[in-house]
Amino acid sequence: MKKFYLIKKTFVTLALCNRNSIRVRFASTVTNKHNIEECQSGEQFVPPFARAKIGSFFQTRPKLGNQFEEDQTLKTYLKRHMPTSVYQDIEADLKQFGRRVATDIYDLGLQCDVDLPKVEHFDAWGQRIDRLITCPAWKKMHDISAEEGLVAIAYERNHAEWSRLYQMSKIYLYAPSAGLYSCPIAMTDGAAKIIEGFASAVPWLKDRAFTHLVSRHPSDFWTSGQWMTERRGGSDVANGTETLAVLQKDGSYKLFGYKWFSSATDADITFTLARIVDDRGHTTKGTKGLSLFYLETRKENGELNNIYIQKLKNKLGTKQVPTAELLLDGTVAYKVSEEGRGVAGISSMLTISRIHNAMSAVGAMRRIVNLARDYSTQRTAFGNVIKDYPLHMQTLARMEVEVRGATLLTLEIARLLGREDTGIATEEEKLLIRLLTPLAKLYTGKQAMSVVSEGVECFGGQGYIEDTGIPGLLRDAQVLTIWEGTTNVLSLDVLRAVAKTKGQVLAALKNDVQQKLSKADNGDLLSCANKINEAIMSLLTFTMKHQDKMETAARDFAFNLSQVYIGKSFFF
């Protein structure tokens, strides 16, 4: 009864206060009697808990510093490997970019996360238009990507073999702030690589598309898609591809098919696979029936190239990316590979996009660790800043070790790729790229899932709150184990590389590892080196002995090889 009286009195008082233009909020249901009396007396009401609705304490938002300057692993790697003059040339650009990815680019990325793409299928008069609407921040990412040379740097080759490492360093810094614009950039880079590879077979493509893909001018810069996946799935491309290609009199083809996952539908061009229909209407089954095609998504008049956006995909994450199902109904396309060499033809794009995937994985891990580390210096619990708790420090340290190892692995691939790009890679280095690409893709994808999840936990409940921007990192990390090949498909790709080279990829890896380990010259290092050496030797012995079991063992084999390579990467 007394309680009821108090509540009632509160409402009466609030009404009175409002009438007197005194701002009183519905702070609590039961109001302090003393305050009510003060208010009734007509004095200015300053309650002792004036901000009762929200309280006066706020957790400190974790700060992002310059993401290049704070990254000791990246800086040390670049300084150790690049000639001093190259490092000095690129350092200022990396510093400015390290600042941007923590400031304006980061803010744009967060906007992409909330202002999601849409499709308008029809205009007001019923005409099918399939207008894709992306947010201003996404469009700005397009321009920034061009201006920052995120594709261009690798192909301008102003720093010869080091250009690729320079470009990939920027991709790594960019990915966790990019609002997933890193996805079209990966495809665009892969497309540029395909065109370079087909320069003598299809010379017109260089003028037609390459110059746009590597442009630094936003108005000239084109992005590319990669349409491989169809309804039957994205792994078994050889049997799942139903799209047909019908030769036209002018030498072009018309494509008829249904592409199930066009990653970023706003691309200007794409590479895709299709089966050529012969004069009798027959096609060849399997890989040997697939050819690689180039197409532009719009006609000269701006209309879609007989492409219908059936729907945008409702994905677990990467919602920022306008991924769609596309119906190709007479889409004009041009054959790029020899007939039946489509999978081999697109494999250079797969290599590039898988390396980008690994860079994104490492970037995501680095980002969450940097945020969690800063937060640990701000947040107090049980009377201390949480960085002062050994258990929390142990958690952060374990994450840091994972990120450093993954960073070294991916930077090493970028370094090797730069040598391959510029035609100076040795045969052994080419073998290493072939093996390390699927290893890095599959291993860092899985690492990203666990490290980012651990990182989210470092923020407690705040890590679970959407508008902190933190949950998005976890959601978006899940695509990294799926896109461009699942963990198992990539593990089988490792076996494919071993079989195709008759084991030479493994010999190349062993030589590289042992060469690095031989530099260990003191007690602790020597004992680590011996352990890594034992691990690689036992993996090789296992492969020789159990060839019949390798398919089942493929995943463990790939994980162990990755760990060995990461282990040796700590030896400079």
Q: Which two tokens stand for residue 316?
A: 């677990």
Q: Which of 347, 462, 560, 563 binds ligand UCC (CB under 6 A)?
A: 347
Using rule CB under 6 A, residue 408 touches ligand UCC: no
Using rule CB under 6 A, residue 400 touches ligand UCC: no
| d(C-alpha 372, C-alpha 380), whole Å | 13
Of 68 and 260, which has the nearer Cβ to ligand UCC? 260
Of 22 and 238, which has the nearer Cβ to ligand UCC? 238
| d(C-alpha 93, C-alpha 162), whole Å | 14
Min dist. Cβ of residue 493 to ligand UCC (A):
5
Min dist. Cβ of residue 260 to ligand UCC (A):
7
| DSSP letter for each residue of 205-229 | HIIIIIHHHT-SSTTT---EEEE--
| d(C-alpha 49, C-alpha 25), whole Å | 12
- Phi, psi for residue 391 in degrees, rounded to 5: -65, -40
Min dist. Cβ of residue 183 to ligand UCC (A):
3
Of 10 and 243, which has the nearer Cβ to ligand UCC? 243
Of 352 and 451, which has the nearer Cβ to ligand UCC? 352
| Spatial CA neighbour of 406 closest among 372, 357, 478 | 357
Q: Is 180 exposed, middle or buried (0-12, 13-18, 19+ CB in 10 A)?
A: buried
Instruction: State which of positions 300-319 bind ligand UCC (CB under 6 A).
Output: 318
Using rule CB under 6 A, residue 482 touches ligand UCC: yes
Min dist. Cβ of residue 341 to ligand UCC (A):
7
Q: Which of 267, 365, 442, 479 binds ligand UCC (CB under 6 A)?
A: 479
Q: Which two tokens stand for residue 43?
A: 């004095």
Which range binds ligand UCC by CB under 6 A, 109-117, 250-258, 408-416, 477-485?
Answer: 477-485
Beta bridge partners of 230: 233, 259
Of 460 and 503, which has the nearer Cβ to ligand UCC? 503
| d(C-alpha 473, C-alpha 178), whole Å | 11
Of 212 and 319, which has the nearer Cβ to ligand UCC? 319
Using rule CB under 6 A, residue 350 touches ligand UCC: yes
Min dist. Cβ of residue 279 to ligand UCC (A):
25
Of 150 and 350, which has the nearer Cβ to ligand UCC? 350
Q: What share of the chain is helix, strand, coil (3-state, %, to 5)?
A: 55, 10, 30
Using rule CB under 6 A, residue 328 touches ligand UCC: no
Q: Which of 7, 30, 201, 344 binds ligand UCC (CB under 6 A)?
A: 344
Q: Which of 151, 269, 343, 520 binds ligand UCC (CB under 6 A)?
A: 343
- The residue number with the shortest CB distance to ligand UCC is 234
Of 237 and 517, which has the nearer Cβ to ligand UCC? 237
Instruction: State which of positions 221-260 bind ligand UCC (CB under 6 A).
Output: 228-229, 234-235, 237-238
Of 16 and 482, which has the nearer Cβ to ligand UCC? 482
As a whole number of Å, the CA-based R_g of the chain is 28
Query: What torsion, rounded to 10 degrees, do the Cα atoms 79, 83, 89, 91 define?
Result: -10
| d(C-alpha 156, C-alpha 347), whole Å | 22
Which range binds ligand UCC by CB under 6 A, 390-398, 439-447, 480-488, 544-552?
Answer: 480-488
Helix (H, G, I), strand (E, B) or coil at 122: strand
CB within 8 A of 133, min separation 6: which ones?
117, 118, 119, 120
CB 534 within 8 A of CB 509: no
Of 74 and 175, which has the nearer Cβ to ligand UCC? 175
| d(C-alpha 434, C-alpha 506), whole Å | 10
| d(C-alpha 333, C-alpha 295), whole Å | 5
| DSSP letter for each residue of 262-312 | ES-TT-SEEEEEEEEP-TTS----SGGGEEEEEEESB-TTSSBSSEEEEEE
Of 360 and 533, which has the nearer Cβ to ligand UCC? 360
Using rule CB under 6 A, residue 489 touches ligand UCC: yes
Min dist. Cβ of residue 14 to ligand UCC (A):
52
Q: Which of 261, 293, 375, 443 binds ligand UCC (CB under 6 A)?
A: 261
Which range binds ligand UCC by CB under 6 A, 10-18, 146-154, 346-354, 448-456?
Answer: 346-354
Using rule CB under 6 A, residue 263 touches ligand UCC: yes
Helix (H, G, I), strand (E, B) or coil at 253: strand
Min dist. Cβ of residue 244 to ligand UCC (A):
18
Using rule CB under 6 A, residue 287 touches ligand UCC: yes
- Phi, psi for residue 313 in degrees, rounded to 5: -80, 140
Min dist. Cβ of residue 6 to ligand UCC (A):
57
CB within 8 A of 572, min separation 6: which ones?
80, 519
Of 166 and 483, which has the nearer Cβ to ligand UCC? 483
| d(C-alpha 379, C-alpha 461), whole Å | 13
Using rule CB under 6 A, residue 177 touches ligand UCC: no
Pure H helices in 45-83: 72-81
Number of residues that bind ligand UCC (CB under 6 A): 28
Of 245 and 350, which has the nearer Cβ to ligand UCC? 350
Min dist. Cβ of residue 350 to ligand UCC (A):
5
Instruction: State which of positions 500-519 bind ligand UCC (CB under 6 A).
Output: 500
| d(C-alpha 165, C-alpha 208), whole Å | 27
| Spatial CA neighbour of 245 closest among 235, 254, 232 | 254
Beta bridge partners of 253: 247, 333
| d(C-alpha 528, C-alpha 363), whole Å | 27
Of 259 and 516, which has the nearer Cβ to ligand UCC? 259
Residues that bind ligand UCC (CB under 6 A): 180, 183, 228-229, 234-235, 237-238, 261, 263, 287, 318, 321, 323, 343-344, 347, 350-351, 479, 482-485, 489, 493, 496, 500
